Amino acid sequence: MKKLIIIPAYNECDNLPHTIRDVREHAPDYDYVVIDDCSTDETLSLCKEQGFSVIHLPVNLGIGGAVQTGFLYAREQGYDIAVQIDGDGQHNARYLKEMERKMAECDADMVIGSRFIKKEGFQSSVARQMGIRYFTWLIRMLTGVRITDPTSGMRMVNRELIQMFAADYPKDYPEPECVVRALKSWKRVVELPVIMNARQMGVSSISPVNSVYYMVKVTLAVILAWF
């Protein structure tokens, strides 16, 4: 089975070595590719120096575009499974084996690593948790399925979803929307408890100012994705 880890990275030259080390150690049976979203720091030169597998985007596309590039690559190369691990070191590669097993056991199309099933590890700020809980509620209202961590970037998908997302993937704040899209297409989505780390260095891309726009936009996007 061909398995790929998609590592979107924007200006993560500080965190990337640790992430790659983690991936190589805990998931040696996976191929990986860093998607450099036209970083302005030394992310690309670092990858070339250290021999990290990298795809360099000539223009910044945002998380949606970067991850979709990963799916395009996965589709091109014929991968059976693709999993997203963020370049900032928040996700732990040791859960990949479990996620794979869960996918096989439950015959699932998507497995999401959720911080909020066992509530261990980095739980994010109170404000964000409220926002996340809101999306859990919204998705449940629309689809009847309870997704405890709809904004989690740590997700594993099978070949069908690789095709679907390679063809079309939301541009910004893609996570909740693509869960709903998968559910709408009658795909099976399951979750697995994972522990995530606090971001070690650098800056997150969602600020308080963006939050209102984020909530409104993603709400509309999720509703439109369902109907």
- Identify the DSSP state of 118: S
Amino acid at 216: V
How far are the Cα atoms of 44, 204, 207, 217, 218 from residue 225, in angstroms, in the given order? 35, 26, 25, 12, 10
- Identify the DSSP state of 117: S
Tell me the window of 7-15, 42-50, 57-65, 128-136 that interacts with another protein (CB under 8 A).
Answer: 57-65
Would the CA dihedral through 76, 79, 81, 82 be positive or negative? negative
Amino acid at 184: K
Residue 195 half-sphere exposure, CB side, CA atoms within 13 Å? 4
Give the shortest CB-23-to-another protein separation in angstroms.
Answer: 28
Q: Which of 12, 88, 149, 172: binder of another protein (CB under 8 A)?
A: 172
- Contacts of another protein in 185-224 (CB under 8 A): 213, 216-217, 220-221, 224
Give the shortest CB-63-to-another protein separation in angstroms.
Answer: 14
Q: Which is nearer to another protein, 195 or 223 (CB)?
A: 223
Give the shortest CB-52-to-another protein separation in angstroms.
Answer: 20
Tell me the window of 53-61, 105-113, 122-130, 134-142 that interacts with another protein (CB under 8 A).
Answer: 53-61
What is the pattern of x (binds another protein, CB under 8 A) and - over residues 4-43?
----------------------------------------
Q: Which is nearer to another protein, 45 or 60 (CB)?
A: 60
Helix ranges (DSSP H) in the chain: 16-26, 43-50, 62-77, 96-106, 126-143, 159-167, 174-184, 208-226
Binding site for another protein (CB under 8 A): 58-60, 171-172, 213, 216-217, 220-221, 224, 227
